[in-house]
Amino acid sequence: MIVNHPTAVLNASFDGDGRLVAADPALAALNARAGGQVGMPMALPALATVVRLARRLGIIVSRAVSVADEEADIDMWARAQPEGAGVRLAVSGWRETPAWSPPRRAETVPADADWRWETDAALRLTLVSPEAGRRHGFDPYAMLGRPLTALFDLESEGDGLLPILAALAGRSALVDQPARLRATGAALALSASVRTDAAGGFGGFVGSARVADVAEPAAVETPEAGLPSGFSEGLDKALRTPLARIVAHADSINAEAEGPIASDYAGYAADIASAGRHLMGLVDDLVDLQAIERADFVPAQDPIDLADVARRAAGLLAVRAANADVLIERPGFADAAPATGDFRRTLQILVNLIGNAVRYSPPGTSVEIGVGHDGGQVSVTVADRGKGIAAEDQARVFEKFERIDTSEIGGSGLGLYIARRLAQAMGGDLTVESAAGQGARFTLSLPAR
């Protein structure tokens, strides 16, 4: 299992022929997993290219690279610098992403933006849409070259923090920073993506402004809010059938059903099939999301036995656990935890929890499933011995599209969000206790029967 190194800088050195001389352990291990070793060129093509270009061009070469490592991709910033006859490689911002993660939010202007602005790295305005001048009645051209704060009066959110500072510090997108236009006092919401330079540094904002709707309070969640109700049906029809066909064909190409093909192509076909499965999972999640976010969503109130549901969920994941060399300790057949809830939805939650636990468990460890009673609630707890979730991330894991340091293939960042929403809809809850490095314990509770 690979660990993330978001802040560390890892080094490696290469001789005049581009052969590896020495590398920090994490980098050496990554290279070794790809089949490389000291005395050979880097086995990871993207890093090898950066090193080779620096050596051949005789200049510093920095760029964002993505390398494959077993089932995950690792994004990193690589900087290769000629040094004497050889090259020194520094890698930073090491961040693991699942190989088939959904594409990152595109660096485009939101569809509801009213006008655009851009800054350079020093937050000087390099673009202010002429449209802004017409809309608000000021001279946008006079703002060019001036600081961002000459155009906008940035406001802090309820917690006293300026979202723009967080965006700068984390080099992450800015979403709905409240602001006022200094020229007119108009209330705006600013969003922006970060332009990074080749070395991963902050290179400026590519932003948009939306006139804030002051009159309307946040829309109350109604069946009409969010996705239209026919959406999930349409999504289902429009995507599932073609995806199933893509996956089936890709699988048969991968299996070389029509005769032998080059192993590269068989591998590509497996990638296509895996990406297709990921998309099907996403379709399922979105359909679920659509259902549970409706105001009239009511799960069934069946008499169920939480211990029995947990045993079934563990059974469904036994093969995957065996492949990962993880033991699932399921509740004994004597255990019972009578509860009220929707059988299918509860099974879905537990498959999700146990699946996550198996995924994050180091080989040779076990996932423990226990049941308990507490007043009017019964609960089932799934505990792993993985790397755990830091206290500050624990609330985030239950949010939509949030992923804390994952290495799984697939996954939309919706699973735990959906699981908690389902648990709460059934009158229960889903909670987590964890500390970084000490594994995680997820507890699903439902009303006792």
Partner 1 sequence: MSTASSSTPSPAARAQRAETRAQTRMGAAVADFFLPSDARLDDRTRAMAARVLGDAVGALDLAIRRHAARLLGRTGPDDVAERLLRLRDDVAERLSRPGLLPTELVEEMIARVRHDAMAEALPVAVTGPDEPSLVVRLAGVPDAVVASAASALLAAENRRQDDAAASSELPAELHHRLAWLVAAALHEMADHDPAVGRALAEATARSIAAYDEGDRLDAVATRLAIAIDARGEELPELLTDALGDRRLTLFVAVLARALGFDQTQARALVIEPDDERLWLALRAVALDRSAIARIALALADADPRRDIEAFADRLDDVVAISPQEARAALAGLTLPNDFRSAIRVLGGAAR
Q: In this structure, are residues 317 and 358 in contact, taking their beta carbons and an 8 Å threshold? A: yes
Stretch that binds partner 1, among 5-13, 136-144, 257-265, 342-350 (CB under 8 A): 136-144
Q: Helix or strand or coil: residue 211? A: strand
Minimum CB separation from partner 1 for residue 409, in Å?
A: 28
Would you count residue 114 as binding partner 1 (CB under 8 A)?
A: no
Among 140, 331, 413, 439, which residue interacts with partner 1 (rule: CB under 8 A)? 140
State in Å, rounded, how far the first CA of the chain is from the last one: 41
Would you count residue 57 as binding partner 1 (CB under 8 A)?
A: yes
Minimum CB separation from partner 1 for residue 68, in Å?
A: 21
Q: In this structure, are residues 26 and 16 in contact, taking their beta carbons and an 8 Å threshold? A: no
Of 199 and 272, the one with the shorter C-beta distance to partner 1 is: 199
Of 140 and 413, the one with the shorter C-beta distance to partner 1 is: 140
Residues 6+ apart with CB under 8 A from 36: 20, 42, 43, 44
Would you count residue 201 as binding partner 1 (CB under 8 A)?
A: yes
Rounded CA separation 255/223 (Å):
45
Minimum CB separation from partner 1 for residue 117, in Å?
A: 10
Task: Return the closest-CA partner of residue 366 out of 322, 400, 303, 409.
Answer: 322
Rounded CA separation 246/280 (Å):
11
Count the residues of the shown chain that bind partner 1, applying the rule CB under 8 A: 32
Would you count residue 204 as binding partner 1 (CB under 8 A)?
A: yes
Minimum CB separation from partner 1 for residue 199, in Å?
A: 8
Among 37, 66, 108, 126, which residue interacts with partner 1 (rule: CB under 8 A)? 126
Would you count residue 63 as binding partner 1 (CB under 8 A)?
A: yes
Q: Helix or strand or coil: residue 88? A: strand
Minimum CB separation from partner 1 for residue 147, in Å?
A: 9
Stretch that binds partner 1, among 49-57, 70-78, 308-316, 370-378 (CB under 8 A): 49-57
CA distances (Å), 175 to each of 126, 129, 276, 357, 435, in order?
20, 19, 30, 32, 29
Among 18, 203, 372, 427, which residue interacts with partner 1 (rule: CB under 8 A)? 203
Q: In this structure, are residues 232 and 291 in contact, taking their beta carbons and an 8 Å threshold? A: yes
Rounded CA separation 314/310 (Å):
6
Would you count residue 122 as binding partner 1 (CB under 8 A)?
A: yes
Give DSSP secondary structure letters for 92-126: EEEEEEETTPPPPPPSS--TT--EEEEE-TT-BEE
Would you count residue 130 as binding partner 1 (CB under 8 A)?
A: yes
Residues at the interface with partner 1 (CB under 8 A):
52-53, 56-59, 61, 63, 116, 120-122, 124, 126-131, 134, 140-141, 144-145, 195-198, 201-204
